[in-house]
Amino acid sequence: MRRLTDFIRLIFSFFYVMKEYNQRRQIMQTNVVIRPAKRGDAKAVLKYLNQAGGETDNLLFGKEGVTFTEQQEEALIDEINSSPNGRMFIAHLDGQVIGIASIRGARPKRIAHQAEIGLSVLKDYWGMGIGRGLMDELITFARSVGTEIITLEVRTDNDRAITLYERYGFEKFGTYRRFFKIDGHYYDAYFMNLYLS
């Protein structure tokens, strides 16, 4: 009898969690704004980066965060957005940056048809479509400026990100052994490409 009671509680817990998740996802889809970053977003972007770095080992920096000043971040936003084939986007919810994506095109003429992207979302918002929304913006922008190839690097054990990238048609084209070094341990990264033309 106790097992049956525990099982029933488990089922109710599951449905409650799913109801909460679906309600939150619906709120996310209606209230999240994805837009190009502006100079005035620098402080919020730094806060985001410092929080995101402490939540995952999938970024190029960890819980120590980034060492940019607000002025340096403003300059970086300006540099990326003033490039003809570069743009930084933020996902914004109720005054908080919850996701960031950027695309930076190569400058030398012979490789100017290529661009590299980076994308991250705060852990509380994983699985809620924020990454897809940011990726849609990146790809739309890339196409609008004539980018033909988008590249990225991703840890080989970051299955969630790899699944997202593969849904968009990215393909692995190489492995960078020992790309990350975290607390004395090495982790490999995949190189992935998306051909837009």
pLDDT over 80 at 103, yes or no = yes
Asked whether the beta carbons of 153 and 179 are under 8 A apart, the reply is: yes
pLDDT in tens, 170-185: 999 999 999 999 999 9
Residue 138 is predicted with a pLDDT of 98
pLDDT in tens, 81-102: 999 999 999 999 998 999 999 9
pLDDT in tens, 61-81: 888 778 889 999 999 999 999
Which overall architecture, per CATH, does domain 33-195 show? 3-Layer(aba) Sandwich (3.40)
Mean pLDDT over 8-30 rounds to 56
CA distance 112 to 33: 30
Element (H, E) at 29: helix 2-31
CA distance 134 to 121: 9
User: In the numeric block, which tokens belong to residue 12?
Assistant: 């109710």
Residue 135: count other Cβ atoms within 10 Å of its Cβ. Answer: 21
pLDDT in tens, 26-46: 545 568 999 999 999 999 999
In the predicted model, what is the mean pLDDT of the chain?
A: 89
Residue 65 is predicted with a pLDDT of 76
Asked whether the beta carbons of 152 and 170 are under 8 A apart, the reply is: yes
Phi-psi region of 113 (alpha: psi -120 to 50; beta: other; left: phi over 0): alpha
Asked whether the beta carbons of 46 and 70 are under 8 A apart, the reply is: yes
CA neighbor of 102 nearest in space, from 45, 176, 175, 146:
45
